[in-house]
Amino acid sequence: MRFGYSDTCLEHDTGSRHPETADRLRAIRRALQKKHGVEYVHADPASRAAVTAVHDDDYVDEVESFCADGGGNWDPDTVACEETWDAALASAGLAQWAAHEALDGADGRETPFALGRPPGHHAVEDDAMGFCFFNNAAVAAHDVIENAGAERVAIFDWDVHHGNGTQDIFYDRGDVYYASAHEDGLYPGTGEIEETGEGEGDGTTLNVPLPAGALATDYLHVVEQLLAPGLSRF
């Protein structure tokens, strides 16, 4: 299995008490030391053009300036340092690599994994939030549609929190299917069943809020009974 990785992502310093730290990547790498067939791959960072394809130009400029000035708290949850700019571009670039790698694999069934941070799915077009600066999945999805011949892209987001940013960026687009299984009632308070897309994107968003303590069988039900039929229609 091929893992996209960059030490640059370790340099995004959120402080020792923050829930999203570089220790997450270090822990994954330690666990992978016990596995066979692990290959680490370098990926180029995302370009500014790739990021501004899904984010507002002024917002991207603001993030760069904020980091160049030393960073700090963008909001109570979202923290940056001077190195966050490069780390965010590296993380988005890893997502791009993984998307291209999946397309290039046999029948699209190779299994690349992007080990990047900061994360991305809460970042909306013109703002950072929820630990996220650039929406890595959105950068990657748009990139393979524009530059790799993909006609459509499906994103399945399983996380305890709803990926409001990814949903918002593609909410009115018909070429990206966004599905999320997340715990009901948690941050950021979005991801209701009724949120299904609009305009050309009507019907291309699927939200499945799950109760706290949902089991693996619940997720399998989401995949088999809700996600798979939705993708077949897409």
Report the C-alpha gap between 134 and 91 in whole angstroms. Answer: 9
The CATH code for residues 1-150 is: 3.40.800.20
The string of pLDDT tens digits covering residues 144-172 is: 999 999 999 999 999 999 999 999 999 99
The pLDDT of residue 105: 73
Neighbours of 10 (CB within 10 A): 19
Helix axes 136-147 and 84-104, enclosed angle (nearest 10): 50
The pLDDT of residue 80: 99
Burial status of residue 208 (CB atoms within 10 A of its CB: 0-12, 13-18, 19 or more): buried
- Spell out the domain ranges in the chain: 1-150, 151-234
What residues contact 215, with CB distance under 8 A and at least 6 apart? none
Which helix or strand (DSSP H or E) is residue 179 part of? strand 176-183
Residue 15: which of 88, 87, 72 has the closest Cα?
Answer: 72
Active centre residues (catalytic)? 122
Residue with token string 């299994």: 111
pLDDT in tens, the chain (234 residues): 899 999 999 999 999 999 999 999 999 999 999 898 899 999 999 999 999 999 999 999 999 999 999 999 999 999 999 999 999 999 999 999 999 999 887 655 568 999 999 999 999 999 999 999 999 999 999 999 999 999 999 999 999 999 999 999 999 999 999 999 999 999 999 999 999 999 999 999 999 999 999 999 999 999 999 999 999 999
Residue 198: which of 168, 228, 227 has the closest Cα?
Answer: 168
The pLDDT of residue 120: 99
Q: Please state, in angstroms and as integers, the Cα–Cα distance from residue 67 to each residue in 9, 60, 61, 87, 232, following that order.
A: 14, 11, 10, 11, 43
The pLDDT of residue 109: 56
